[in-house]
Amino acid sequence: MNEDKPVLLSGIKPTGEIHIGNYFGAIKQFVELLNDDSRQGFVFIADYHALNFIQDASEMKRLTRDLARAYIACGLDPEKVVLFKQSDVSAHTELAWIFDTITTMPYLMRAHAFKDAEAKNKEIVVGTFNYPMLMAADILLYDASVVPVGQDQKQHIEYARDTAEKFNRIFGETFRLPEPHILSDVAVVPGTDGRKMSKSYGNTIPLFASREQLADCVMGIVTDSGNDRPENVYAIHRLIKTEEELAPVYEEHKGKYKALKEALIDDLDAFIAPMRDRFESLTNDTEIDEILEKGAQVARSHSEHKMDTVRRAIGVR
């Protein structure tokens, strides 16, 4: 690996079926950014973050492998990118603890994710409260400079930056400040009900959906009556086609929501098919586990190097 290349890093929690919001909001960006070889890529499965939600061993295993398969199906090449599981690299949780000791409770209480979780359920777990510190560790361990994520993760990147600055101020220059990478036109992919697409809202279109599943999801898209153009259909259509390509279709079927939805089903199916085929062909669990173990070895060697500097800086070594 070339040490001089800027590091791109990103991760996703294995908490459910990957949907087109994850793809357009995050995965597509890092696959494209990693295609030109000018960056070193670290892409991981945030299983310790997911442990806040998934507390069933076989489910955790299945979702983890499926996310690895999804990354590869979307175009990540494990020969070029370090693809690994967070839990395989214990430096992540170790560094998160170190960050806990320089971070105040009121600061973490200002996090949107904490406030949302608290609003829904007063008895949130400490892991949810500390979530941003583990995420800061994920990013800062690898000196990442570019972190492609969806809009909802922007605050977490700011927390990582603040934490790096605070550590550097207390213990001396150690961490590089990361930048988020958010594309504005796909920053928030709408779901079938028009709200942000999210597995927690049950409004997703799965990325590897069969044509039948796609048809069900698209036919269920909530349409706003009284408008010639169904905005929720159009917004999803725009992710895969340009305005110029769509203009004649929407002109021809003005006000005919069913025909427009059928056009969207065709286009989504054509777009998804190659990734779906690849996803379905990756059935060998041993092969997936080997890819993740190989990635973990590289990630461990990078992170151990960084942890050596960190341990010296704080005086435990």
Residues that bind ligand TRP in the complex, under the rule CB under 6 A: 9-13, 46, 49, 135, 138-139, 147, 149, 153, 156
As a whole number of angstroms, the distance between CA 188 and CA 75 comes to 22
By beta-carbon proximity to ligand ADP, the closer residue of 28 and 92 is 28
CA 133 to CA 111: how far, in whole Å?
11
To the nearest whole angstrom, how small is the minimum distance from the Cβ of residue 142 to ligand ADP? 17
Q: Identify the residue among 166, 199, 229, 256 touching ligand ADP (CB under 6 A).
A: 199
The answer to the question of residue 188 lying near ligand ADP (CB under 6 A) is yes
The helix (run of H) or strand (run of E) holding residue 247 is helix 243-252
Q: Using CB under 6 A, which of 65, 85, 196, 302 touches ligand ADP? A: 196
The residue number with the shortest CB distance to ligand ADP is 25
Closest separation between CB of residue 115 and ligand ADP, Å? 16
Quick one: residue 226, left, alpha or beta (phi over 0 = left, psi -120 to 50 = alpha)? left
CA separation for the pair 151, 184 (Å, rounded): 8
Contacting ligand ADP within 96-125 (CB under 6 A) = none
128 binds, among ligand TRP, ligand ADP, none (CB under 5 to 8 A by kind): none
Q: Write out the H or E segment, with its range, that includes residue 102.
A: none
Q: Is 12 in the site for ligand ADP (CB under 6 A)?
A: yes
- Binding partner of 82, given ligand ADP, ligand TRP, none, CB within 5-8 angstroms per partner class: none
Q: How far is CA 225 from CA 199, 222, 230, in A?
A: 26, 9, 8
Structure tokens at 228: 């010639």
Rule CB under 6 A: is residue 178 a binding residue for ligand ADP?
no
User: How is residue 196 written in tokens?
Assistant: 């942000």
Question: Considering CB under 6 A, how many residues would be counted as binding ligand ADP?
Answer: 18
| Contact present, 138 and 92 (Cβ < 8 Å) | yes
Q: Please name which of 7, 4, 79 lies closest in space to residue 303, comparing C-alpha atoms.
A: 7
Q: Does 152 bind ligand ADP (CB under 6 A)?
A: yes
| Residue with Cβ nearer ligand TRP (150 or 190) | 150
The distance of closest approach from Cβ of residue 210 to ligand TRP in the complex, given in angstroms and rounded to an integer, is 26
d(CA 92, CA 285): 25
Instruction: List CB contacts of 166: < 8 A, sequence separation 6 or more.
Output: 102, 103
CB of residue 50 vs ligand ADP: minimum separation in angstroms?
A: 9
Choice between 164 and 205, CB closer to ligand ADP: 205
Q: Which residues contact 165 (CB under 8 A, 6 or more apart)?
A: 177
Q: By the criterion CB under 6 A, which residues form the site for ligand ADP?
A: 12-13, 15, 21-22, 25-26, 149-150, 152-153, 188-189, 196-200
